[in-house]
Amino acid sequence: MVRIGELPTRLLALKYGCDLVWGPEIIDKKILTCERFENEKLNTIDFLSTKNQNSGSKNNENFSNLVFRTYPLIEKDKLIFQMGTSNPDLAVSAAKIIINDVSGIDINAGCPKHFSIHSGMGAALLSTPELLQTILKRLVEEVGKPNKKPISVKIRLLPTREESLNLISKLLTTGISNLTLHCRTKTMRNREPPIRDYLKEIIEKCNEHNKRFFFLQSQYGKSIGCMIASAAELNPTCFNEFGELPWYITCKEFIKLCDQFENHKGNTKYCLTRMIPSGKSKFSKKLHDLISRAKTHDEIKKIILQDLNENDILKEQDIKKRNIQHDYSQPNSFKKIKVGTTGDDET
């Protein structure tokens, strides 16, 4: 997932029960500029862009040539690399660079954002199914099979049931191992309810092709699972079968991972501001302000590990309890504070 699919969030999600994690969508051309490095200090595998994109901004600390980082000790067998592409040759070449360090390659054919569709990638591929088929077939034959790793695709629904089922039938002939369906069309936003009316038919279709899908297991059976983004963005421990950790504990665990893996400051700030409830309370506002004003990673670390005082939070919970009569003494009580929507990030 873009921004929230970086290493610290992935590790936290895995620690709390997520089975498979997706990296952020990375464009084929970007991977082709990368070299692989074994980072002995962090025990990570890093893909660094050798292309000089920082002309004039050498001292800009916001610049990083780190494109992708994985921590095999934990992520081995659990990490799916997601690629943006609209070109079979580039897709295959890029996939060959990355395949040994990941457990599978997923093609993003669901992103409706301009940066993706203007160059024929993302949800634009839904309108060029032959091209999407070629990309998937070539990846299956030239990368998936030789390396015994799954190739998959993520799509959205087309405007009608027939069109969607037709598209899925075509994709199922390519040899893909998995298909993720975002149950919205490309013009729908995340705040609109997903369309699940003919999910059963889709599942049957996939089963005919002997493909295993995952989606809301309790509702549709054990061969189905789901890809979770927004809930994991707000609290990556949401996969925990015993319930997610309170947000302030999650933030503390998260910042330690960011520190350990030298996460990019901008990404750390972004993720934390998603995890900290954005209520109207003075406390939340103050915390958001402090994080966004922090100049260094150490400053952010201090705010979260030292200044984020659980007593203040509990006091805050008491005030809320009196004001709106919610039972904030219950675990996960902060879920009841309204949090912002993901806005522009719906891909």
Site for ligand FMN in 71-90 (CB under 6 A): 82
- Candidates 141, 142, 262, 345; binder of ligand FMN (CB under 6 A) is 345
> Can residue 230 be called a binding residue for ligand FMN (CB under 6 A)?
yes
Query: In this structure, which amino acid lies at residue 157?
Result: L
Residue nearest to ligand FMN (CB): 230
Q: What tokens does 54 get?
A: 């920082």
- Candidates 6, 101, 233, 316; binder of ligand FMN (CB under 6 A) is 233
> Can residue 153 be called a binding residue for ligand FMN (CB under 6 A)?
no
Query: In this structure, which amino acid lies at residue 42?
Result: L
C-beta pairs of 314-320 under 8 Å, 24+ apart in sequence: 316/281, 316/283, 319/281, 320/281
Q: Is 238 a catalytic residue?
A: no
Rounded distance, CA 2 to CA 344, Å? 11
Site string for ligand FMN, 271-310 (x = CB under 6 A): ----------------------------------------
Helix (H, G, I), strand (E, B) or coil at 316: helix
H or E element in which residue 320 lies: helix 310-324
Q: Which of 18, 111, 251, 271 is catalytic?
A: 111
**Phi/psi of residue 281, nearest 5 degrees:** -65, 150
The span of 56-64, 123-131, 228-236, 293-301 binding ligand FMN (CB under 6 A) equals: 228-236
> Can residue 251 be called a binding residue for ligand FMN (CB under 6 A)?
no
Rounded distance, CA 65 to CA 51, Å? 8
Q: Provide the sign of the torsion angle of the four alpha carbons 41, 42, 47, 48, taken in this order.
A: negative
> Can residue 27 be called a binding residue for ligand FMN (CB under 6 A)?
no
Any idea what DSSP says for residue 177?
A: S
The span of 3-11, 96-104, 131-139, 215-223 binding ligand FMN (CB under 6 A) equals: 3-11
Rounded distance, CA 342 to CA 266, Å? 17
- Candidates 108, 152, 185, 237; binder of ligand FMN (CB under 6 A) is 108
| Residues near ligand FMN (CB under 6 A) | 1-5, 24-25, 82, 108, 110, 154, 182, 190, 227-231, 233, 342, 345-347
Instruction: Report the catalytic residues.
Output: 111
